[in-house]
Structure 1
Amino acid sequence: MPESDMISWSDGDWTRTPAALSAEGGTLDVTAVEGSDAWRHTAYGFVHDTEHALLAPLAVGEAMDVSFRAPWDGQFDQAGIFVRIDHEHWIKAGIEFADGHLGLGAVVTEVRSDWSVGHVDDWHGSEITVRVSRWPDAVIVRARASHGEWRLVRVAPFDGGAAASAGPFLAAPTRSGLVVRFTRWTRSAADAALH
């Protein structure tokens, strides 16, 4: 992977203010508000635009990595990276705990959301890193647990002509008290190849 530059937690702006924040020793502990989520229409019939995402600019040709840890014990607890053009055009990618399983996936939203996910139960307890690379017509999502191999998660269409921002996100649709520890936020050159 290309060399990366650290992004300060103070360099981003929150889409929705979390319940609590605590920065110490380079990490950021964030507590989600109960009922927070991001989804538009598909299958469930609702629009939720209440996620907590800390966003900084992401240009075409750049990548962003977010690393984090969470307890993963509440239904639909989720954390990872959020990439946003506006409230109808965004991607969230990372981990979601659902129905007793840890899922690695992405929600790609172009007015309506779609969700792709696969189980990664063996990642429980690991520090997880999610990486997005912005190409002229796409966002490439990769992820890994600890220092394991990178996995390709998604190749999603994304408007290269639009201004976009990205950064750490979390949400807790069904409970209060979810605390995610974000351990790293970096920017680098986008991955040059898919394979």
Structure 2
Amino acid sequence: MKNFVNTAAWTSKPVNSRFVGRFLHVEAAKGSDFWQETHYGFKRDTGHALLAPVASVGALEVTFQADFDTLYDQAGLMIRSSETDWIKAGIEINDGLPHAATVVTHGRSDWSLSPVPEWANQEVTVRASWREGAVTIRVRKNQGPWSILRLAPMTFGPTTKAGLYVCSPERSELSVRFSRVTFGDADAGLHVAP
């Protein structure tokens, strides 16, 4: 984790980020978000993403835990080529419940959600695996089985970076504890668990 932090850069600095033992604690600013136009009409690129350059084939796992309780509290992983070309995936609060969520943005954002109320205050790992212009997103609670959350297109190039992210559109003092950021090999296939 510390090696990643030392080589990565923030898109927008959080209120605070510090190590407590082996855990990286990140506090999001109120109003921080990543979104482009769809439904709401606004363009937001104020979220906190700590990103490092990646190759066109690879994988990333981000493990975190947070006390999410406010609408749109969110954290997870991000793959980003520009302000209008990115994917974020993780846990987000909607309608009072945690959801496994993904936003894919190529000019404009889309949003997909799957409720996971039993994941409240649990450790969650999100995995992105990419090759041949496609990204497979998987998610799991603790050391449980992986579930496929999304398959989405993404063009990788010299500006593409990946890492962790956290946003707090509606409140201050959201703190997320990240325990692991690991880069590795792409999955062997869509239905082959890592």
TM class by shorter-chain length? Answer: over 0.9
User: Paired residues, what number?
Assistant: 191
Q: Distance in 2 between matches of 1:98 and 1:188?
A: 31
TM-score (norm 1): 0.94
Q: Distance in 1 between matches of 2:133 and 2:126?
A: 20
Q: Aligned AA for 1:138? A: A
**Where do 1:35-50 residues align within 5 Å?**
35-50=31-46
Q: Aligned AA for 1:104? A: A
Q: Aligned AA for 2:121? A: G
Structure 2 residue aligned with 1:9: 5
SS at match of 1:8: helix
Could you say what the CA RMSD is over the residues aligned between the two structures, in angstroms?
1.4
Unaligned runs of 5+ in 2: none
- Find out whether 1:182 has 2:178 as its counterpart: yes
Unaligned runs of 5+ in 1: none
For the 8 Å contact 2:81–2:157, the answer to whether it is kept is: no
Structure 2 residue aligned with 1:52: 48
**Where do 1:156-175 residues align within 5 Å?**
156-161=152-157, 163-175=159-171
SS at match of 2:111: strand
**Where do 1:1-195 residues align within 5 Å?**
7-161=3-157, 163-195=159-191
Q: What's the offset of the Cα at 1:49?
A: 0.5
Q: Distance in 2 between matches of 1:31 and 1:125?
A: 16
Q: What's the offset of the Cα at 1:165?
A: 0.6
| Structure 1: 4+ residue segments shifted above 2 A | 5-8, 160-163
Q: Distance in 2 between matches of 1:180 and 1:54?
A: 13
